[in-house]
Amino acid sequence: ILMFYLVRWLGRDFVRKYELKHKAIKHLMKSFQKHPFRNIFLLRLFYPLPPEIANVLGGVSEMSFEKYFFASLLGIIPMTLFSVLLVKSYLWQDYTSFLISLIAFIMMLLIPLFFISPLRKIFWKKRE
């Protein structure tokens, strides 16, 4: 919450100046204005990315704090549940639950990749 508000108060003007020069950032901001809840939820669900990315993108965007908070909360819940299930099923030697949690982790890794295309275009630039 603190990072969201710090970025909102201190970083939004900088990003607006940067946005004028780069079309990819402008496209990303438009995507966050159209679907802010979905994008924050998917960023929280995608566990390899640091959580600070969702904080910064939420603070820079025009989304309300309520949407940011509830999308973050709902995005963190599956990760927490399946992490606990993974560890507990391994300790209990319940391999069915272990397999379910592994499949859930794979799904949480793949689903956001298909929905957040503007981020994919920014981070995965073609190399010459």
Round to whole Å and give the CA distance between 8 and 57. Answer: 9
pLDDT for the residue numbered 102? 92
How many angstroms separate the Cα of 10 from the Cα of each of 14, 15, 52, 68, 94? 8, 10, 15, 18, 49
pLDDT for the residue numbered 128? 44
- Which pTM was predicted? 0.74
Angle between helices 65-92 and 51-60 (to 10 degrees): 170
Of 26 and 75, which is predicted with more confidence? Answer: 75
- Render pLDDT for 32-82 as a digit per residue (tens, 0 to 9): 778 888 888 888 888 788 888 888 888 888 788 999 999 999 999 998 999
63 close to 32: Cβ distance less than 8 angstroms:
yes
Is the pLDDT confidence value at 23 over 80?
no
